[in-house]
Amino acid sequence: MYLDHFGLNELPFGITPDTSYTVVTRGHQAALNTLLVALNSGEGFIKITGEVGTGKSLLCRRLLQALPAGGISAYLPNPYLAPRTLLLALSEELGLAVNADSDDYHLLQSLNHALLAHAAAGRQVVVCIDEAQAMPLETLESLRLLSNLETEKRKLLQIVLFGQPELDRKLAEPSVRQLLQRIAFHYRLGGLGREEVANYLAHRLRVAGYRGEDVFGPRAVRCLHRASRGTPRLLNILAHKSLLAVYGEGKHAVRPGHVRQAAGDTEGASFAGWW
């Protein structure tokens, strides 16, 4: 595509979460700090919510990388599971050799014994659940019962829920009100500010190998911020399409017209006439 034209080693604005492209923004750093403080204090449940594309999955990966060495972590990217399947998935993630034909009681016992062994060895066990808004209510209740596993001093299992705002509505259901009461720490991710958008674009270009003058000038950055509302995933899509438009013209600087063209071709972008 435009790699050679701009002197890039790889595409700078992919939508797959990649920690090598991480830009430390105020919101993401505050969320990560909240997570680390909550986990260090031994809280059983922590919740992170944000609109689609605000970087929850990337934050989850940053958290897994930031956990202390020697700890045990599990990651469930697709929690649309029945309660029993959730237990099996957790057992597999934690490296337990369990019989899939075991009844729920013995399955829970196996998990409890493994968690007690980790606690005796001083190992922290953290489970990160992405797209948590997709969990059925009965599975959320099963997760709450799992959090009852504890010693006199600490929780055996700490669970971090990452989800869209629909997760808040699901947790407001009377049937899972006990789970809601156990969430001591939570954080809501928002979009990037205008000044953060400029740093975000420049950083991703540098990581991809760009070493020239600014591709995105102040006016283009302003337009990208308005069109994307600061949502990183949408910003990536618009920036990529803007670069394609510039490449098609044989130029090297993105102008507002390129951004308007990209916004008109992108679902979810703010309508160009509005800004």
Residue 32 placed within a domain: yes
For residues 180 and 267, membership in a common domain is answered with no
For residues 53 and 139, membership in a common domain is answered with yes
| Alpha carbon distance 267, 150 (integer Å) | 46
Residue 178 placed within a domain: yes
- Helix, strand, or coil here: 22? coil
For residues 117 and 90, membership in a common domain is answered with yes
For residues 95 and 184, membership in a common domain is answered with yes
Q: Which residues pair with 185 in a beta bridge?
A: 46
- CATH number of the domain within which 55 lies: 3.40.50.300
Residue 61 placed within a domain: yes
For residues 164 and 88, membership in a common domain is answered with yes
How would you classify the pairing of strands 45-50 and 183-189? Answer: parallel
pLDDT at 263: 94
pLDDT at 204: 96
Calculate the alpha carbon distances from 174 to 44, 102, 111, 181 in Å: 20, 31, 28, 11
pLDDT at 273: 57
Residue 14 placed within a domain: no
Calculate the alpha carbon distances from 197 to 50, 52, 221, 235, 254 in Å: 18, 17, 7, 8, 14
For residues 172 and 203, membership in a common domain is answered with no
Cα 245 to chain centroid distance, Å, stands at 30
For residues 90 and 33, membership in a common domain is answered with yes
For residues 57 and 154, membership in a common domain is answered with yes
User: How many domains does the structure of the chain reveal?
Assistant: 2
pLDDT at 170: 94
Domain boundary among 141, 167, 189: 189
- CATH number of the domain within which 251 lies: 1.10.8.60
For residues 67 and 182, membership in a common domain is answered with yes
Calculate the alpha carbon distances from 148 to 82, 136, 156, 272 in Å: 19, 19, 8, 51
Residue 19 placed within a domain: no
Domain boundary among 134, 166, 189: 189
pLDDT at 97: 79
For residues 178 and 42, membership in a common domain is answered with yes
Count Cβ atoms within 10 A of the Cβ of residue 212 and give its class: 0-12 exposed, 13-18 middle, 19 or more buried. exposed
Residue 227 belongs to domain spanning: 3-9+193-274
For residues 208 and 145, membership in a common domain is answered with no
For residues 95 and 204, membership in a common domain is answered with no
pLDDT digit string (tens) for the chain, length 275 residues: 789 999 999 999 998 888 888 888 999 999 999 999 999 988 889 999 999 999 999 999 999 999 988 889 999 998 999 999 998 998 888 888 777 788 888 888 888 888 989 988 989 999 999 999 999 999 999 888 888 777 767 788 999 999 999 999 999 999 999 999 899 899 999 999 989 999 999 999 999 999 989 999 999 999 999 999 999 999 999 999 999 999 999 999 999 999 999 999 998 898 655 55
Domain boundary among 168, 189, 210: 189
pLDDT at 271: 66
